[in-house]
Amino acid sequence: MTEKELKQKLYLNIAFVVLGLAMIITGWVLTAIREGTSSEITGLGSGIFAIGLLRVLQIRKILKGDKDALQKLKEGYDERNVMIYNKAMSMTMKICLFAAFIALFVLYVLEETVIANTIATVVCGSMVVYLICHWIYSKKY
């Protein structure tokens, strides 16, 4: 990984930190003025903030010449780890789709059409994204 790529990653993660902070603040403000999903927004923001901050600290260490941090980053992009990640993601998607189809069946039987339609839209959207990605990669390779 080049220094330029590392810096790009640094800026991307700084953006995540800012986004996380903005979500935390939004959550706090909304909690003060209304009840509802505000704490969930704070929770999501905290997660994004924490991941972004950890990455920023790691990349800063690497840019300062920390060899251990560089080795850890390399291990993260190690081809076997990438393969494991891809396989796990692929299996997760398959399981989620299967679970979604079962949930759809049950929800339509129970006449919970609003939730069922939402899930069906998400599933259809995922399939469209998959087809687009498949088309792009089949053109590329």
Shortest reach from residue 3's CB to other proteins, in Å: 16
- Supply the minimum distance, in Å, between the C-beta of residue 80 and other proteins: 4
Residue 39 CA to residue 26 CA, distance in Å, equals 10
Query: Is 137 exposed, middle or buried (CB count within 10 Å of its CB: 0-12, 13-18, 19+)?
Result: exposed
Give min distance, CB of 71 to other proteins, in A: 7
- Minimum CB separation from other proteins for residue 77, in Å? 9
Query: Which residue's CB is nearer to other proteins, number 74 or number 94?
Result: 74
**Cα–Cα distance list, 1 to 6, 7, 75, 127 (Å):** 7, 10, 12, 33
| 34/36 Cα distance (integer angstroms) | 7
Which lies closer to other proteins via its Cβ, residue 40 or residue 75? 75
Nearest alpha-carbon partner for 50 in 76, 75, 23, 78? 23
Q: What is the rounded radius of gyration, in angstroms, for the C-alpha atoms of the chain?
A: 20
**Quick one: 9 or 30, whose CB is closer to other proteins?**
9
Footprint on this chain of other proteins (rule: CB under 8 A) = 71, 74-75, 78-81, 83
67 or 139: CB nearest other proteins: 67
